[in-house]
Amino acid sequence: MIERIRHAASEAFPGIEMTLTVDGRNIVTVQGECESWNQLVDVGHFLAKQEGVKNVVNEMTVKGLVIPKKDYSQAKADGEAKGVVKETDVVIVGAGVIGCGIARTLAKYDMNVTVVEMSDDVCTGASKANNGNIHPGMAVKPGTLKAKLNIEGNRMYQQWADELNFALDWCGCVAVVTDERLMKGAEMTYKIAVMNGVHEPEVFYSAERALEIEPKLAHRNLDIKGGAFFPSFGQVESYEVVIALAENAADNGVEFMFNTTVADVLREDGQVQGVVTNKGIIKAKHVINCAGIYADEISAMAGDKCYTIHGRKGTLAILDRHSEPEFDRVTMIYDGSHLIQEKKNAESKGGAMCVTTEHQSLLGPSATEVPDKEDNTTTIDDLAYAMGTNLNAATGYKDIIKTFCGVRPADYSEDFVIEMSPITHGFINVGAIQSPGLASAPAIAKMVEEIWLEDVKAAGCEPAVKEDYNPYREARVEFRHMSREEQDQLIAQDPRYGRIICRCEQITEGEILDAINSSVVPTSVDAIKRRTRAGMGRCQGGFCQPKVLEILARELGKEWTEIHLKDAGSRILFEETRQAAKEGGDK
């Protein structure tokens, strides 16, 4: 096998000297030097596609490029010096949609679950910076774990939304073509959807059917030849989903530790023992790795170096809510001059113009391979790609109120890695969860629960379900969506709901206080933004940020200078500038 792969690699990349090895699991490790980062990624993908290869560990370098590496040494030293600070049954590394989904699922059992997160809040990585699509499953490779979990997760989302009270819009996705030659693409997408088991996909061959699906196409006067329709395409605000999962998990006894970086995984005689963090050692019987872009590094700490994450950055642009979305469904028009696809990453779905649950236009994402896993910068080219998905001629760059980026944690197999480690027992890998990870999240949580249950039962234990487990989360007050009568009644009960803090989004002091008093306490301005939308409007916090900061400081018992925008180091205020005036002096 290895000789066949070496021969194929030398023919595909004749100018690169590679050292290739393969282990008993058919995981290929490659070393050597490339000319560019994209070439390094191409080598990884090429090797992963060779027959029999399970995955690729890419240890190649790039000539003239320093590839950023995270240094865990100080965090490890700090944690070891502090010693054991906690003993728990399960440690979950990472508080994105996957980590929080698993935490909420395991919260039903009578045991201790601890989630550790390196940043200050839940949902600060890829789970935050995506377009919120609940993909139906027509854009994933048949036969993959991705395809299986995408379909299952899509069908489970309504239950999540009903139990956790977050907004879910089954808006559907329609692609129309105006050139009969492009119908082959629509038919192929339909066939893949059928193969994967997508719910009620449809291919059609008339303009009349297209207008039945999306009546707002009428004003375009297009010569529509046909297209494809996927009614099980949904839309959520991803941060709402993660916060709902986390709060329900916390309500059911899960503990969250923020600003807590895992620097090593403890193991003994092939069995996981816990993790070393900057805050101390946490002993655990199981460690579940949901660390996103750092999942491969956490896995390596556990002695299981079985895949490499290569960051794929996606840039999105959100438009002012006054720029009315042109269509109600996610709509794509293919007329032969659609140039977006020429620049599309071969492993990406390509992005689209979506409508959020708050009825705002969201454009993108792009898909650019980056060597820095924390590269969240917006480039001109990536923004142009995102804006290239804009189908509405009445809107443009002038309507952008916010651009943001997320780095997808892709591996070279371009599939999910979910398994009990065969190297370190008790360590469960849940890595390489890129799109459609959000859509797949309920099914991923279920799969991990099954892996954990099987292992616990094999050890002779029968996990008990808590009698008081409650899968439901109360709906939050959303003042902006209430009728005038409802608003008046609420204000009469609590005048704080009558004090508007964020004018753009009509967010009240009462809503901010509700967020602060929740089971997962927000401690930064951005954390409040994710829970309430304060700061998400046209001015992006220009007017409300000082008020939010003041409320946070007051309620948390902190000085104004102690309230950050997000993580430590993102200070908003540094020091008092009028100390004498504050103390009643005359200077």
pLDDT tens across 111-129, in order? Answer: 999 999 999 999 999 999 8
**Angle at CA of residue 98, ends 514 and 92, nearest 5°:** 90
The pLDDT, as a whole number, for residue 337 is 63
The pLDDT, as a whole number, for residue 30 is 98
What SS3 state is found at 283? strand
The pLDDT, as a whole number, for residue 581 is 58
Beta carbons within 8 Å of 19's beta carbon, 6+ residues apart? 30, 31, 32
In the block, residue with structure tokens 């023992």: 273
| Domains of the chain, each with CATH number or no CATH | 2-62 (3.30.1340.30), 79-128+238-309+413-458 (3.50.50.60), 173-219+311-409 (3.30.9.10), 479-582 (1.10.10.1100)
The token duo for 22 is: 């393969």
CA-to-CA distance for 16 and 43, rounded, in angstroms? Answer: 10
The pLDDT, as a whole number, for residue 350 is 64
pLDDT > 70? residue 303: yes
pLDDT above 70 covers a percentage of the chain that reads 96
What backbone phi and psi angles, to 5 degrees, belong to 427?
Answer: -100, 115
Give residue 340's pLDDT band: very low, low, confident or very high (50, 70, 90): very low
**What DSSP state is assigned to residue 359?**
S
Is pTM, for the whole model, over 0.85?
Answer: yes
- Checking DSSP bridges between strand 84-87 and strand 280-283, what pairing results, if any? parallel
**Angle at CA of residue 372, ends 570 and 9, nearest 5°:** 170
Q: Cis before residue 436, ω within 30 degrees of 0? A: yes
Q: What's the pLDDT tens digit per position in 487-536?
A: 999 999 999 999 999 999 999 999 999 999 999 999 999 999 999 999 99
pLDDT above 90 covers a percentage of the chain that reads 92
Element at 241 (helix H, strand E):
helix 238-251
Q: What's the pLDDT tens digit per position in 75-117?
A: 999 999 999 999 999 999 999 999 999 999 999 999 999 999 9
Across the strands, what pairs with 404? Answer: 316
CA-to-CA distance for 379 and 405, rounded, in angstroms? Answer: 10
CA-to-CA distance for 57 and 353, rounded, in angstroms? Answer: 35
pLDDT > 80? residue 583: no
DSSP string, 55-115: EEEE--EETTB-------HHHHHHHHHH-EEEE-SEEEE--SHHHHHHHHHHTTBSS-EEE
CA-to-CA distance for 285 and 303, rounded, in angstroms? Answer: 16
Which sequence positions are flagged as catalytic?
135
Smallest CA-to-CA distance from 252 within 106, 446, 89 is with: 106
Q: Average pLDDT of the chain?
A: 95
Q: What's the pLDDT tens digit per position in 360-383?
A: 999 999 999 999 999 999 999 999
Give residue 569's pLDDT band: very low, low, confident or very high (50, 70, 90): confident
CA-to-CA distance for 42 and 11, rounded, in angstroms? Answer: 14
Looking at the chain, how many residues does it have?
Answer: 587
pLDDT > 80? residue 208: yes
CA-to-CA distance for 8 and 14, rounded, in angstroms? Answer: 10
Give residue 348's pLDDT band: very low, low, confident or very high (50, 70, 90): low
Average pLDDT over every residue of 431-454: 98
Largest CA distance in the chain: 83
The pLDDT, as a whole number, for residue 336 is 73
